Structure formats: structure tokens, C-alpha cells
Structure 1
Amino acid sequence: MIVYKQSSGDRIFDSINIAIMAVVFIVMAFPFLHLINYSLSNPSLVSGRFLFLPKQVNLDSYKAIFANGDVLHGIYISVARTILGTISMVLVTSMAAYVITRDDLVGIKFFRKYFVFTMYFSGGLIPTYILIKSLGLVGSFWVYIIPSAVSVFNMILIKTYIEGIPKELEESALMDGANDAYLFLKIILPICIPVIAAVSLFAGIGQWNSFIDTQFYNAMNPDLFPLQYILYNSFQSITSVEQFTMGTGAANTQLLTPQSLKIAMTVITVLPIMVVYPFLQRFFMKGLLIGSVKG
């Protein structure tokens, strides 16, 4: 067993790194901890100081939010667009990435340059809106799914990963009579699980946090408002508790303030990402083992 003895310089370097990461953790984690504690506290007991623990635990803000039909419908829209948008992006983008790795495809150099070109240049906001409207997607749920089905950046990530797979796997499968569809679905896709997990995380977070597309295409259709857009509107429109709880049947509004409602809704929008991310972190490691090439 080899024992590595750290020098004084190594110990100083490690100590500096630990101190820097501790500061980064405090800067990133403590503000959100304050929001959680504020949303769980009695607003009348909350001062301007940082909250390490809730003051007199109070769940009225969350009860009022989940009693609001618009918020519940917004959660449904956000979950639906996140799941469908992520699945469609992974399928379409991974298939396109596999295709552009084929050197025998006619015009492959042109297609590669064409996709990269779209990363740096676009038609702009107005031409994009005209295109979306001409396709009949304005005012529909599918405007959240179809335009985001292809991500050139994620395509390049998957393409690079596929190019690192030994060509012998493909050649042996083709010799056994496999076609391109079987080769992609049964061999390439399972090996690409680590990068698929990564791009799925990117796509899922992007879909969950998106609200600008609602502003552009569905601002006049409240039935298609995702949770993030409802949160965006609440910061501008909620000026009184009665305005938010009207018609919800909320029993106790004495321990509610507009600020506590906004903060509780912010926690609800961020919490799912915090729950899903550690799961995907473990999935990365599992995917690395599944994707390994055994001799």
C-alpha cells in the first residue's frame, strides 16, 4: 500500500480550495435556506435578519397556494411540458446525432456545417414568431414541445460521445445483419446513457424553468400557463392576500402576506429540480458502468 505524504504546499492548496468551496456553498445555499424558512414562518414574527430556522412553523402559505386552481393547473402544464419536451428532445436529437456521425451519408459535411451555423446565427424574434404562427402552434400546448425537439448543442455532445464508441461494435452488428434502426436502438443508445442523462437534465431544467415562450405565444391563453409563468405574473400582480385567495376557499388568511405567498411559490418551483438532480447524479455513475465496453 502506497502512502502519499502531503507537503506543506499541498496542505495550503487544499485548505484554500476548501475555504473557497465553503464560501461558494454559503453564497448559493443560504439564500434558498432563508426562503424556505421564511415560507414556513409566521410572517408577523419575521424580521429583516437571516433565518436559520422557521419561526413558529406556519403552512398557511402552502395551503393557500395548493388551494388555488390556477397554480395546480400550472403545475400540471409544467410537468407535462417537462416530461414530453425532454423525451422528444432526447429522441429526435440523439437520432440526428447518430445520423451525422455516418461518414458515408451523402452531403454529410454540408449537414454538419449547417447545424453548427444555426448555433451562431438565427432568424431573429419576429421571423421565428411568424414561422411558429404559420405552423399553427401559437395558442397551443405543442409550441412548448415541437420547437425544442432539436438542440444543436446537445446534438454535438451526443455526436462526440458516439464517435468515441469503438467502430468494432457497429461493424460486428452489421455483419450479423443488423440495420441502422436496430444498431441505434439496441447498441448505440444504451452505451450513450451517460450523455443522454446529461442532456436530459439540461432539457428538463430548461423546460421546467421556461416562461418566455408562454409570454410570446400563449399569453392570451391562461389554460396553458406553466407554473413559472404564474410565478412571474404573481410577482407583478399579487398585491393583497384576498386577491390571491379569492374563490379558493382558504380558511385562514390571517397568517398570510403577499410576500409569504410569493416566496412559498418560489420554493415550490425550485424544489422539484433540487429533488431530481441528486437522482440524476447517481444515474450518471450507473450509466458509466452500463456504457463500458467489456473485453
Structure 2
Amino acid sequence: MHYKVSPGDRVFDFINYLIMILVFIVMVFPFLHLINYSLSNPSLVSGKFLFYPKQFNLDSYRAIFANPDVLNGIYISLARTIIGTSFMAIVTSMAAYVITRDDMVGIKFIRRYFVFTMYFSGGIIPTYILIKSLGLVGTFWVYVIPSAVSVFNMILIKTYIEGIPKELEESALIDGANDAYLFARIILPLCLPVMAAISLFAGIGQWNAFIDTQFYNAMHPELFPLQYVLYNSFQTITSVEQFTNSMSGAEKFRMLTPQSLKIAMTVITVLPIMLVYPFLQKYFMKGLLLGAVKG
């Protein structure tokens, strides 16, 4: 069947293309400017938009990676992202599997209890008192344990599990499988798409987090993630000498400016997420569609 494109359809398509081009320009060009700025000679950079680097220069990145605080921040950010995301995925998926069991005693109350926590929280001060009473203040695990359960992600996984044919579970139970075996060998492998989706959510949240550091680990520089190091640099660094004071060979970075250092560090903090997302996009979209909350 041949579909004839009407003038109205052409106008509609043109407007859609125009809007998408504008969105692309608004989202991509500013970041392109940051990359070009960080790769340029700071003495040649003016206030104009940069479409390409001016006198290609990597001194900003050399200075950043030579700073021990930045290297430690990268290590902490990677550790909390990998460990925190993995721990959240395991704990949340196990909880999601449990609340799908309709024959469990008190399951309706448990479900409502979890949903209640999505709308009401204890607040900042009670949360801090709880974290402190658990002995997590001043430790790395304050980044991992409090975020181990996400009710929103739990509901996504629960809905996804409910879409799996019950015959698979029944056949496994007839063969003598227990709940632990059923979850680990049958349910969890089938949940890879939605697990990839929530892992991407959690990973981005862990990589970008810095408020928890300000609340619980502000007096422990060895536990500062990269985002908090960047936050401090924007707040406190006013000169290159201040940033390179404790570095060996700092005199070779005198031509840099605080602005070039801040922009280069911004690129470093954003780039990993941009590189990871394309590999998980397929599972991300599938997991959101199949694990969406049904009416």
C-alpha cells in the first residue's frame, strides 16, 4: 500500500527535524566548547565559542592527573560506582523477587510499607543521626549501604518478574528447586534487561553524587570522590599555584589558568558516563519498556 505524503505531513516533519537540530545544538555544542577549551592553550583562548582547539595542549589534563587528590577522587568514585551499583542491584532484585510471592504472610503490608517510603522520609537530621548510630560516618560504606535498596527500582524489577511465565517457576519447583536456586538460576538471568536499566540509573547516581560526602565525610579528604573534588575546586581554587602547590614539577604548569583546570576536570567527570551509556542503551530502553509500571 502506497502512502501519499501530504503537505501537512511535510511541514510536520520539517518542524520535527528543526526542533531536534536545535535540541542537538543546545545539548552538544556547549560540551564541545568545554572539550575544545580544555585542549587549547589557555593564553590563546578568548571569550568566543570554540569549534576546535587553539594550539592543541594537554597541560590541563597533565596537571589534573598529577594531582594526588584527583587521582584519589577517581579511585573513590570508581569504587563507589562499581561496588554501590552491584550491591544495590543484588539487594533490590532479591527484595523485588520476595514481594512477588503472593503466598507470603503479610505481603500486602510489606508492599505498602515499601511504597510509603517513596513519599515520606525522615528528613536530613534524623537520617544523619541514623547513619551516625550505625557507625557509617567517616567510612567508605556510607556510600554503599544507605543506597542498597531503591524502591522505585524494586517496583520496576517486580513488574518485570511478574511478566515472566509462571510455568518456568512451577516446572523448577516440581524438579525440586528452592527459592534461592529459582531466583539465581532462572529469574535473575531473565531479568538482565531491567537489571541493566536500573544499574545505569544507580551507576550515574553514584558517579555524580557528592552531597553525601558533604554530610558524612567532609572531614575525611581520603574519602572524597571525584565530584566532590570538582565541587571544591570550583569553590576554593582561585589560582594555579593553589592547585599545584603540593605537586612535583609544578612550575611547568604556570601557564595554565584556574578556568582551564576546572573545565578539564569537568570533562573528566562527565566523559565516563558518556562512554558507558551507548553500550547499555539497548538493554536500558528494553528494560524500561518491559519493566514499566502497568496500570
Alignment TM-score, normalising by the size of structure 1: 0.94
Please give the alpha-carbon distance, in whole angstroms, between the structure 1 residues aligned to 2:273 and 2:210.
16
Matches within 5 A, 1:80-159: 80-159=79-158
The answer to whether residue 61 in structure 2 is matched with residue 53 in structure 1 is no
Residues 23-59 of structure 1: CA distance to partner in whole angstroms, max 9, x if unpaired?
A: 1111111111110000001111111111110111111
Give the Cα separation in 2 of the matches to 1:101 and 1:155.
10
Worse overlay, 254-263 or 89-98:
254-263
Distance in 1, matches of 2:171 and 2:10, equals 51
Q: Distance in 2 between matches of 1:138 and 1:287?
A: 35
Q: Does structure 1 residue 273 correspond to structure 2 residue 273?
A: yes
Question: Matches of residues 1-295 of structure 1 in structure 2 within 5 Å?
Answer: 2-249=1-248, 250-284=250-284
SS for the counterpart of 2:273 is: helix
Once residues 6 and 183 of structure 2 are traced to their aligned partners in structure 1, the CA distance between those partners, rounded to angstroms, is 50
Structure 1 window deviating more from structure 2 (188-197 vs 276-285): it is 276-285
Pairwise CA distance, 1:9? 2.5
CA contact (8 A) 2:38 2:261 kept: yes
DSSP 3-state at the match of 1:41: coil
Distance 1:23 1:188 in 2: 43
Retained in 1: the 8 A contact 2:197–2:285? no
* Deviation of 1:254 (Å): 3.5
Report Cα offsets for 1:58-91 as digits up to 9, x if no partner.
1100000000001000000000000000000000
Cα distance in 2 for residues equivalent to 1:47 and 1:91: 50
RMSD: 1.7
Residue 213 of structure 1 aligns with an amino acid whose one-letter code is D
Alignment match, 2:293 = none
Once residues 63 and 105 of structure 1 are traced to their aligned partners in structure 2, the CA distance between those partners, rounded to angstroms, is 58
Unaligned runs of 5+ in 1: 289-295
The CA distance in 1 between the partners of 2:236 and 2:103, in whole Å, is: 57
**Number of equivalent positions:** 288
The structural deviation recorded for 1:3 is: 4.6
Residue type at the aligned position of 1:163: E
Gaps of 5+ in 2: 289-295
Find the aligned partners of 2:287 and 2:216 in 1 and give their Cα distance.
37
Moved more, 232-241 or 4-13: 4-13
User: Are 2:193 and 2:287, in contact at CA under 8 Å, matched by a contact in 1?
Assistant: yes
| Alpha-carbon separation, structure 2, partners of 1:255 and 1:281 | 41
**Paired residue secondary structure (1:252):** helix
Q: When the two structures are superposed, what TM-score results if normalisation uses the length of structure 2? A: 0.94
Separation in structure 2 between the aligned mates of residue 268 and residue 117 of structure 1, nearest angstrom: 38
| In structure 1, distance between residues paired with 2:255 and 2:8 | 55
The alignment-based identity, stated in percent, is 82
Q: Which whole-Å deviations, capped at 9, do the CAs of 1:185-223 have from their partners, x for residues lacking one?
A: 111111111110000000000000000000000000001
Q: State how far apart, in whole Å, the 2-side matches of 1:20 and 1:165 are.
A: 39
